[in-house]
Structure 1
Amino acid sequence: MKKRPTILDVADKAGVSKSTVSLVLQNSPLVKQSKRDEVKKAIKDLGYVYNRSAAGLRGAESGLIGLIINDLRNPFFTEFAASAQMEFARKGYATVIANTDEDPEIQAQVIDSMIEHGVSAFVISPAYGGDANAFDPIQRAGIPTLQVLRQIDDRTNVFPFATHNYAVGGQLATNHLCDLGCRKIAFAGGLKNRPITNERMSGYSAVMRERGLKAQTFHGRPSRSFGRDIALQIASEHPDLEAAICFSDLVALGMISGFAEAGVKVGEDFRIVGFDDIEESSLVFPRLSSVRCNTEHFGRSSAQTMLSWIVDGERPPDLRHYDVKLIERQSSVGIR
């Protein structure tokens, strides 16, 4: 018995990806007419039969959004994902959420799978590393895609990028500590030479230069365990340091724990400012000063931006920075 042709056979004959064939079969307007004609010719030549009952389960016909997050264990990204998903839901769109766990290979697999299942759009907080052309399959499929919080593809004319104004946040935090009388201020956390680390450090570095102060950095994974370890290291090896701006609240929370273990009073002996202002920042003791990024608003706005793009054709700007705000609490100003 002759083998029945598959979607892979169609893709091979037409010289396109499987996801492109899938989009053509769903009558998606995202595929150029020339490619559409090539796929339809291959279907006719091969005698391929489209299983529409199975296709009806796919997302493009029900308004499915692909939301890909680099680290859902981090409450900062969890809050973003939840806020975006709820906004999509309010407008009648379903969301499929994937955690890549900072693994570019998993990210590539997830992207391919979501394209195959016919998502209408992507919102991606990407993992670093891996193939420099990681988003090429998305471009070939013609799916609107918004990069958020992190940028791995420089083609913002194709994949717009939305993020917070981290440089301003670093400036606010550093000036705050300097105004409190601190002169020996470190920056703690963030993997060296990562774009997101450089962004969050940039404001700190600029203010330290302007004020004629020496910058000191402690790079590492932005985690509680790193924060605890670096606090213990500072207490034993750098007793002259007076304050630190942390890459994230997770690092700052770890430092609070480490300094408590070392007998150092945070807010008095050593001052700390975090980044993100996750919920726990206002609940820990001493309460953590932090650069508020208003992640809930950012998540809602990112979803609204994407919906305006795919529903109304209003493409977002190539680059958009959202405002940040310094929230002063006990970890920097002391217990009052």
Structure 2
Amino acid sequence: MTRRPTIIDVAREAGVSKSTVSLVLQNSASVRDETRKQVRAAMARIGYVYNRSAANMRSSNAGLVGLVINDLRNPFFTEFATSLQMALADKGYSAVIANTDEDPGLQAQVVGSMIEHGVSALILCPAYGETRATFDAIARAGIPAMQMLRRVDDRLDLFPLTAPDYARGSGEATRHLLAGGARQVAFVGGLEGRAVTEERQDGYLSALAEAGMTPVMLTGQSTREFGRETARRLAETHPQVDAAVCFNDLVALGMLSGFQEVGRDVGQGFRLVGFDDISEAAQCFPTLTSVRCDIARIGAQAAETVIDWLDKGTPPPGETRTPVSLVVRQSSGGDGRS
């Protein structure tokens, strides 16, 4: 090698990321001894010399946290990202934010770029799909990383999960509808095979089993469009269904529009509950009963957790479930006050 070796050359020689090499040079305790020896050996082989003064100039990236969000178009995730970014800023940290648009390939790209640019930690609301390689790259980099709101990797010792108690929320919503006189309750929205869909369905199924009732599950994209189409379909093919728990508020808001089109009253004739309690739930008409996850608080807590992890070197528990509550409004027969 005729030119002076760089940190990228060391990373390539050692078979690790640039971020991992940087952590070794900083004597970070988060790097495994085996990896540290591997990087030091690569430095020796190619003749790399550490320029500490230049490294000090680059240290402005310290305290930079990568935030990877699966769908920033969804107000639920937008509120999470905003509250987390503001909480990090309050503690003197900065966030670099990327939207993956539910694309695992794009997720791999942005995570790799964040690692290369030396983020101190990663917080992911991950996309579903082929994600193993992405999380393997994070593990090799040796930086703290948290899964938020969704679980796609089972290595919770490396990538701890924080998410609302989805099953409890859907269970409370279903029991609320049954207590209000619903004769048949449907579950609407959520793609089959996804863990977050199954968790939200679990509480619904348990509540119906307790009541000795048969479930009606209409799965699909968790969008307003799907909710609107499903409202029309329910009126035509499932006239016996008189209540629904929705996967999220977007589906429920779509159902409100769909029922308006077919002339079906929501609140008394049909009882409806959303999930997430985005701000629009209290602003639409009729106002929407919803399972509140307190996503702003989850974002603030995530910031505290990752900063403690960085400062103290101790990861959080493998799985943390945050409390939920049901906010009753007009769509399920309430008076609209939240």
| TM value normalised by structure 2 | 0.93
Is 1:113 aligned with 2:80? no
**Structure 2 match to 1:148:** 148
**Offset, 1:25:** 4.0
2:227·2:251 contact (CA, 8 Å) conserved in 1? yes
1:58·1:117 contact (CA, 8 Å) conserved in 2? no
**Offset, 1:54:** 7.0
**Offset, 1:53:** 7.5
Q: Can you list the C-alpha shifts for 1:54-94, whole angstroms capped at 9, x where unaligned?
A: 75675774311111111111000110111111111100001
User: In the superposition, relative to structure 1, how do residues 165 and 186 fare at CA in structure 2: closer, same or farther (>3 Å)?
Assistant: same
Instruction: Name the SS of the counterpart of 2:115 in structure 1.
Output: helix
Instruction: Name the SS of the counterpart of 1:82 in structure 2.
Output: helix
User: In the superposition, relative to structure 1, how do residues 265 and 52 fare at CA in structure 2: closer, same or farther (>3 Å)?
Assistant: farther
Cα distance in 1, alignment partners of residues 59 and 331 from structure 2? 47
Moved over 6 A (4+): 51-54
**Offset, 1:309:** 1.4
Cα distance in 2, alignment partners of residues 282 and 53 from structure 1? 55
For residues 129-140 of structure 1, what are the structure 2 equivalents within 5 Å? 129-140=129-140
Cα distance in 2, alignment partners of residues 55 and 72 from structure 1? 34
2:274·2:290 contact (CA, 8 Å) conserved in 1? yes
User: In the superposition, relative to structure 1, how do residues 334 and 94 fare at CA in structure 2: closer, same or farther (>3 Å)?
Assistant: closer
Q: Can you list the C-alpha shifts for 1:316-335, whole angstroms capped at 9, x where unaligned?
A: 11111111000000000156
Q: Matched residues, percent identical?
A: 54
**Offset, 1:31:** 2.1
**Structure 1 match to 2:64:** 64
**Offset, 1:110:** 1.2
**Structure 2 match to 1:280:** 280
**Structure 2 match to 1:227:** 227
Instruction: Name the SS of the counterpart of 1:287 in structure 2.
Output: coil
What amino acid does structure 1 have at the position aligned with 2:288? L
Cα distance in 1, alignment partners of residues 239 and 282 from structure 2? 27
Cα distance in 2, alignment partners of residues 112 and 60 from structure 1? 20
**Offset, 1:49:** 5.5
Give structure 2 stretches of 5+ with no counterpart.
none
Q: Can you list the C-alpha shifts for 1:210-256, whole angstroms capped at 9, x where unaligned?
A: 11111001111100011101011111222221011000000000000
1:171·1:206 contact (CA, 8 Å) conserved in 2? yes
| TM value normalised by structure 1 | 0.93
User: In the superposition, relative to structure 1, how do residues 72 and 52 fare at CA in structure 2: closer, same or farther (>3 Å)?
Assistant: farther
Q: CA RMSD in A?
A: 2.1
Cα distance in 2, alignment partners of residues 60 and 33 from structure 1? 26
User: In the superposition, relative to structure 1, how do residues 40 and 141 fare at CA in structure 2: closer, same or farther (>3 Å)?
Assistant: same
Give structure 1 stretches of 5+ with no counterpart.
none
Cα distance in 2, alignment partners of residues 322 and 37 from structure 1? 40
Q: Can you list the C-alpha shifts for 1:102-144, whole angstroms capped at 9, x where unaligned?
A: 1111111111111111111111111111143431111111111
Higher deviation after alignment, 26-35 or 307-316: 26-35
Give the total of aligned pairs.
336
1:189·1:248 contact (CA, 8 Å) conserved in 2? yes
